[in-house]
Amino acid sequence: MKVRPLFDKIVIKKDEYEETTPSGIILTDSAKEKPTVATVVAVGPGGYVDGHEVKMEVKVGDKILYSKYAGSEFKLSGETVTVIRQSDVLAIIE
């Protein structure tokens, strides 16, 4: 199933995070840090949002660093994806 976000929205898939510490301790779900690195899956067209023109800076395939509590999670074709606004992107990782 394909998804096409609207306006300044971006669909991302969170990157896997470590389940063990560097010293080998296995972390429980409650102790795991919420990941803030993701891969962009789909990008909206931009346009006018709240009276301001938004030019999309990210593209599909970019690795990004985003705000910790940004967006909404959804199940899409059996995979969990998150929809965020471009303004929640802190940086593009190169």
What integer pLDDT is reported at residue 15 of this predicted model?
81
pLDDT band of 34, cuts 50, 70, 90: low
Alpha carbon distance, N-terminus to C-terminus of the chain: 28
Buried b (16+ CB within 10 A) or exposed e, 9-48: bbbbebeeeeeeeeeeeeeeeeeeeeebebebbbbbeeee
pLDDT band of 31, cuts 50, 70, 90: very low
Q: Within 10 A of 67 (CB to CB), how many other CB atoms are there?
A: 13
Where do the domains of the chain lie, and which CATH numbers do they carry? 9-15+33-93 (2.30.33.40)
For the full predicted model, state whether its pTM sits above 0.85: no
What integer pLDDT is reported at residue 20 of this predicted model?
61
What integer pLDDT is reported at residue 69 of this predicted model?
86
